[in-house]
Amino acid sequence: MRIKYRIGVMPGPWPAGPEGRDLFWRFVDLCETSDIDSVWFSERLSSPAPVLEPMTAMAAVAARTRKLKFGPSVLVAPFRSPALAARELAMLDYLSDGRALPAVGIGAELEREFRAAGVPFKERGRRTDEAIAIMRRLWSEDKVTFHGEFWQLEDVTVLPRPVQQPFPLWIGGNSDAALRRTARLGDGWIPSFITPERFRAGVEKIQVEAAAAGREVPADHFGALVYYCMAPDAATARATALPFVPRGRVDDATLGACAAFGPPALVTERLEQYVAGGASKFILRPMCPPEQLLDQLARLAEEVIPAFHRR
């Protein structure tokens, strides 16, 4: 098959005040008018720093743009009723004429967020699996009846349906459970904070387990989220980025191997390492002060993305 390489972006650190509203529209307009393929939004129920809520942000993108694709990286599936999530995602795809890119996961290892959502922390994996099964059926069947461990549906119909049929659903996470979930239930894999070496091993494991389950994850449906910061040299880029990297989620050795802090050539080199492991889709997230966000994205669009999109 012919592999299509595509690079999207995720907003980096976000301002807390009203200036964030203006920045959002400038961010969306830059992405729409550049070679950036898609925009992605992370999900946190509670955060000490501002985080854009993904469903409403994606709706705003759908209304503002005509070509830009968009997705969550990732929706925390256990937080929502799968019927409601299926309806919202289908509507986003319908209104945008097929530009939604749904991805789900079990969420961060923060039990207090699950308590706030009314979801037992230990159930998050099983709830995610059940939610995926329900959403897939709601996107393709006329009336869905489902009797599961967590949700009960009787003749539920979601209309309008997604424009994309089948509606692809990617899986986030880099744990063994996330790899198994992708192999059994997913259409693609998009982990974060994963080294190129571990990424390659993950792709191989997913392909083997999918084949054993009688499934196939398309070869061009493997991607990675990569933190980056461009500067003339690696030391300056790293000093700019580190204050904004979430501590506790990644150790220094892993960060050094999976992030791209330095000149544009270093960013390209890092992406090529993932390409060698089977990646063709990327989400690049700038780690910098909010006032540098648009410049970082513009440089990415001008100095890194074209070489990949021309392949």
Residue 78: DSSP 8-state: G
Per-residue pLDDT of the chain (311 residues; tens, 9 = 90+): 789 999 999 999 999 889 999 999 999 999 999 999 999 999 999 988 899 999 999 999 999 999 999 999 999 999 999 999 999 999 999 999 999 999 999 998 899 999 999 999 999 999 999 999 999 999 999 999 999 999 999 999 999 999 999 999 999 999 999 999 999 999 999 999 999 999 999 999 999 999 999 999 999 999 999 999 999 999 999 999 999 998 878 999 999 999 999 999 999 999 999 999 999 999 999 999 999 999 999 999 999 999 999 99
Position 16 scores a pLDDT of 86
Position 246 scores a pLDDT of 86
Position 17 scores a pLDDT of 87
Position 310 scores a pLDDT of 96
Residues 262 and 84: their CA atoms lie apart, in Å, by 42
CB 53 within 8 A of CB 84: no
Q: Can you give 88-101 as a three-state secondary structure string?
A: HHHHHHHHCCCCEC
Superfamily of domain 6-309 in the CATH hierarchy? Luciferase-like domain (3.20.20.30)
Position 123 scores a pLDDT of 97
Residues 72 and 41: their CA atoms lie apart, in Å, by 5
